[in-house]
A and B are shown apart, each in its own frame.
Chain A
Amino acid sequence: GESVGLHLPTLSVQEGDNSIINCAYSNSASDYFIWYKQESGKGPQFIIDIRSNMDKRQGQRVTVLLNKTVKHLSLQIAATQPGDSAVYFCAENVVSGGYQKVTFGTGTKLQVIP
């Protein structure tokens, strides 16, 4: 399959444990954030999003936390499963001068140990 990066930070987690993946974003004016999952050989898939007027959003087994003070985003995956093994990256969205700009992070590789 395709590798998305040779030197990505890697998080190794035991199956069943919780995973926390972090992302620092750059623009304090960003108003919307997304987490993507990218499995080997596939395109990115949307996981969960959060608006800047929220600090927490929960989905099924996933939670996103937003700390605007330090421009930090985290993705928490509960009860990590082998199928969660993938690269995860965040994206920030800002609208400036009528134009939308989306900036994607470089990603973290999650390895789930059975």
Chain B
Amino acid sequence: EAQVTQNPRYLITVTGKKLTVTCSQNMNHEYMSWYRQDPGLGLRQIYYSMNVEVTDKGDVPEGYKVSRKEKRNFPLILESPSPNQTSLYFCASRPRAPGTGLREQYFGPGTRLTVT
């Protein structure tokens, strides 16, 4: 079954304590990305990766890091989380094709992060 998995699904942490949210896909997709979803705002892209070892900033990259050492994994790292990073996070993957590649974009189930 084609899927994107994320862990953990829920996380409550304190300001400044480094954390990593893992993301894995089993579809051999080149393109992976991280989004955050906040009330009253649409999904906003944090970082994306067009292939192994190729990553780039999205619209809201401040306070986040990513890595893409393997094609299937794309972890999101918060080195020093702050309360304004409390959000619902989604990982997604799709074929690299522009435009209509979006119809084959799969999203993970989401990670609810609370930073106190």
> Cβ of B112: which chain A residues have Cβ within 8 Å of it?
2
CA distance A59 to B12 in the complex (A): 41
Tell me the minimal C-beta distance from B73 to chain A in angstroms.
Answer: 17
Q: Encode A42-61 as 1/0 by CB contact (under 8 A) with B.
A: 11111001000000000000
Q: Which residues of A contact B37 (CB under 8 A)?
A: 4
- Which segment of A62-70, A76-84, A98-106 sits at the interface? A98-106
**Contact status B42-A93, CB under 8 Å:** no
- A46, A93, A102: most-surrounded residue (chain B CB, <10 A): A102
A32-B102 contact, Cβ under 8 Å, with A7-B39, A89-B42, A106-B40: yes
Chain B, interface SS category: mixed
Residues of B within 8 A of A44 (CB): 43, 90, 107
CB-based closest 6 A-B pairs: A43-B107, A104-B42, A104-B43, A5-B39, A6-B39, A32-B99
| A residues whose Cβ falls under 8 Å from a Cβ of B | 2, 4-7, 31-32, 34, 41-46, 49, 89, 91, 93, 95, 100, 102-107
